[in-house]
Chain A
Amino acid sequence: MTIAARRPPRNGDIAIRTEDLRRHYRMGETVIRAVDGISLQVRAGEFVALLGSSGSGKSSVLNLIAGLDRPTSGNVTVQDRDLARLSREELAKYRLHVVGMVFQSFNLIASMTLAENVELPLRFAEVDRSKRESLAREALDRVGLQARMNHRPSELSGGEQQRAALARALINRPQLLLADEPTGNLDSHTGTEIMDLVREFNQQLGMTVVMVTHERALAEHYAERMIFLADGKLVGDQPNPIASQQAVQS
């Protein structure tokens, strides 16, 4: 079955499932167990935070879910797709249509304007130019950056860059938003603005959000569920009633 032809998940369905997921790296004689037997499930529409100290394996898990990396053993299944079985080409299509990603360092292309950065995934999806422009404008408008669409990333503040990155992640209407320390390079006020946007996407667009962070307060404020990792292993998985309540209220 092709990626585009799949049924969109309904809230409550299992969106992500990992089973005894392992990712080991070899550095000389040493084997580094970045992910070491993690099994978890994330429901569609859920907002999950992966917490842990540096080197706990949270970014590695995120990369495996994003299809950027392949597991050493175990399975990652996203919306009934076993990512380990997908070819490189299929994984690229999966990243293009199913996943939106934001990073700590924004990862915008410096030589392109915001509008060009935002519409880049549409170029890979071979969307017509006229349609691309209107979609990019719409996405930038959603994150409040329409006035700066012709600026280059270097002309923008960190918060604005991250908002542009969110607009880019949004442009293909993915079902999954994967955020790797999205506020790590931002001050607390700007970080809050970004996290409010992420929560808006989660609640209004029904996107499943998996966010990697080492800031417990941030996770407690926004994530419905917190998963704790240490040394590549899952050491805790607990719901977050405060965020769930806030989500219901908003």
Chain B
Amino acid sequence: MKIPDLTELALRNLRESLLRNSLTTIGISVGVASLVAMLSLGIGLQQLASRRLVKSGLFDTVFVTSRRDLRNYDRDDQRNGPAPGESRILDEPSRQEIEHLPNVLEAYPDIRFITELRYEDKPHLTMVSALPDSARSNDAFEGMRGSFFSSDVAPEVILQKAFAEELLGKTPKPGADDVNVSELAKPLLGKELTMRYAQRQAAPSAPGAGADMSGPDKSALSGAAYSVVSREQKLKIVGISDLDPESLRGPMRAKVFLPLKLGESLHVMQPTDLRELSRAASDQPVYSSISVRVKNPKQVQPVEDAIKKMGFTTFSILDASRGLAQFFAVLYAFLGIFGSLALAVASIGIVNTLVMAILERRREIGIMKAIGASDGDVKKLFFAEAGAMGILGGIVGVALGWAIGQVISLGTNIYLKRQSLPPEHFWVVPWWLVAFAVLFAFGVSLISGLYPASRAARLDPVQALRYE
């Protein structure tokens, strides 16, 4: 029998026992809906986690240090390279070379130093870090009050909430998360801080540009290539971040943030300067480390390899990302198994319905065989009925699963809103899941139809025709 005829006969037969077949199809729909709901949740959570991680800037960033940094020498991948003393310096030409590698978005030096900030004439010693303009899209600043730096050279500053509390004389309670950033922002935004820092200068030449020279009290530290002078810089508070400084965020592990170009122009004396002192011949800065942002996390490995070839040490959190992928694979498997359980129960419903149909249509099968239907025709007809129930159940199930997802998503977002948390999009039904769910339901239905179909095909026509 041809496929269109089979389909037509199968649908006709399904219509004949409408209630029973509808109930069986609903059973399949519920099974598919549960599968779709579970997997959509898994996919949504994975995408949410990926989005969060990409936004955190950790998974698309490679941290580069010089091999001269002896802290790295014990690492296995460094042992085959040149000796630390012979390897390259991480200076501006190296940074530019790295920035021009394929798939690299930007490479910026990590400028971090401990210095004194004065607010209302009170000194506060803290860690200051410089951030590139691209950091404005980082999730670290999602809960920030105020605004990001107006430009890359603006004399502006963003404070971490704990430091803001310190400036206001409040004592942070250990373990307390409920610091209201808005309350901290009100008295601080627009106010001015004075940063006192040690500037590195080439001894014979003029002082570096861009620094606000308020203190002329030069104090030469070295008679060699450099001198170190004490300077002051006025900074306007533009934002208060609710970022936790203890979180692992590379350059963001500081309490005060400056724009990157401003940070560079200040030529603040950094710990590596002393180490590089004996080698550097010019006043070009030497960086302790460089952060390299790549286009997407998949390109981290090739970029890392390319930088290693240049003779530098690299570090990324790619391994953590791999672990995460493994975690989600396990989560998928669990959610898939739980989702499939309902479908397994539904498949028993299909077997039951079709076996009942054989009993009811015994005589009809006998008639068909008497007028020329082969065993194969009868088998295919029952398969077509099972398959039709599977496809219909699959389609309805996907719609049902999607609807369940929307309801749960809505409910959760209402809950998040009540908890003063931003809404999250954690429910995703990709097209491949729709296709997979319908095909899976079809496949399960066909498997369920195997026994009834072969039983119907084996029916003895003489016995079947006697059946009343």
List residues of A whose CB falls within 8 A of some B CB: 63, 66, 68-69, 88-89, 92-93, 95-97, 101, 103, 107-109, 111-112, 120-121, 123-126, 129, 168-169, 172
Contacts and interface: CB of A to CB of B under 8 A. Distances in A.
Contacts of B12: 111-112
A126 B1 contact: yes
Nearest to A95: B372
A95 B371 contact: yes
A168 B462 contact: no
Interface in B9-60: 9, 12-13, 16
B82 interface: no
Interface of B: 1-2, 4-5, 9, 12-13, 16, 363-364, 366-377, 461-462, 465
Contacts of B369: 68, 92, 95
Contacts of A92: 369, 372-375, 377
Interface of A: prevailing SS: helix
Given A111-B13, A111-B16, A66 B370 contact: yes
Contacts of A109: 364, 367-368
A117 to B, nearest CB: 9
A120 B369 CA distance: 11
Contacts of B364: 109
Contacts, number: 68
Interface of B: prevailing SS: helix
A184 to B, nearest CB: 14
Contacts of A89: 374-376
B2 A126 contact: yes
Given A66-B370, A96-B371, A123-B2, 19 more contacts: A68-B461, A69-B462, A89-B375, A92-B372, A92-B373, A95-B370, A101-B371, A103-B465, A111-B12, A111-B13, A121-B372, A123-B1, A124-B368, A124-B371, A124-B373, A125-B372, A126-B2, A129-B4, A172-B372
B463 to A, nearest CB: 10
Contacts of B374: 88-89, 92-93, 124
B5 A123 contact: yes
B176 to A, nearest CB: 73
Contacts of B461: 68
Contacts of A172: 372
A88 B457 CA distance: 11
A36 B314 CA distance: 94
B381 to A, nearest CB: 10
Contact of B377 (A66, A112, A124): A124
Contact of A63 (B5, B9, B462): B462
